[in-house]
Amino acid sequence: MRNSFIIVALLATLVLSGVCRAEKPEKKCLTGIEFFTGFGKAKLHAQGNYYLAPFIFDLDFDIKPPIERLLEKIGIKYPGLIQFQLEPFINTAYSPYANVEVGNTFMFKIGILPETSKFQPYAKAGIGMLYMSQHSREQSTQFNFEEQGGLGAHYFLKKNIAINGECRIRHVSNAGIDQPNHGINSLFFLLGATYQFD
């Protein structure tokens, strides 16, 4: 798991840097930023409910051009957005005790409707790492890896400003570095805003 995470992170960095260099100078690779907050919940075996107040910041990178060229070779024209996101986050836990989670997720986001749509549903998934100050019976380590997936939507109020809503599922484990490693599954409900650069 740890090796596969390192490989995915390196590949994502290489692809992203290649996309940025391959585009014309006037085409921006970093296309926007997003902010999210909301509510997260998990169940800890001994301590009970684990409640989180997340603060998430996304950097959106357009990786559609090279993927679009590949799809066009097989006769597919995809109208929706395709993005890579760097997602640093700070989650404040307020139950069972005051704690914090700090980390970063590498996300891939795919829009379902054309990019010009005012309402844009999307799916996203990714992997990352986090440090959690919470001690639990599920995890023997405080440094852990996480996988996330979810569905959401943008609604554009203006050309480059949107409000967002998302629902995500997250799994946290230490990839077998130490035992116990039972994992912690969380459900997140998020609201946020997007600002797209001109």
pLDDT band for position 27 (50/70/90)? low
% of the chain beyond a pLDDT of 70: 86
For the cut 70, the answer to whether the pLDDT of residue 37 exceeds it is: yes
Q: Of 108, 5, 111, 3, nearest to 61 (Cα)?
A: 108
% of the chain beyond a pLDDT of 90: 62
Q: Residue 12, Cβ neighbours under 10 Å: how many?
A: 20
pTM (predicted TM-score):
0.83
Tokens describing residue 43: 């169940």
User: What are 64-114's pLDDT values in tens digits?
Assistant: 988 888 888 888 888 999 999 999 999 999 988 899 999 999 999 999 999
User: What are 158-171's pLDDT values in tens digits?
Assistant: 989 999 999 999 99
For the domain that residue 131 is a member of, what is the CATH number?
2.40.160.20
CA angle, 91 as apex, 85 and 97 as ends, to 5°? 160
Q: How many structural domains comprise the chain?
A: 1
Q: Which residues contact 172 (CB under 8 A, 6 or more apart)?
A: 130, 132, 139, 144, 145, 146, 183, 184, 185, 186
**Which pLDDT value is given to residue 153?**
97
Domain that holds residue 135: 2-196
**Which pLDDT value is given to residue 23?**
47
Residues 23-48, mean pLDDT to the nearest whole number: 84
**Which pLDDT value is given to residue 8?**
53
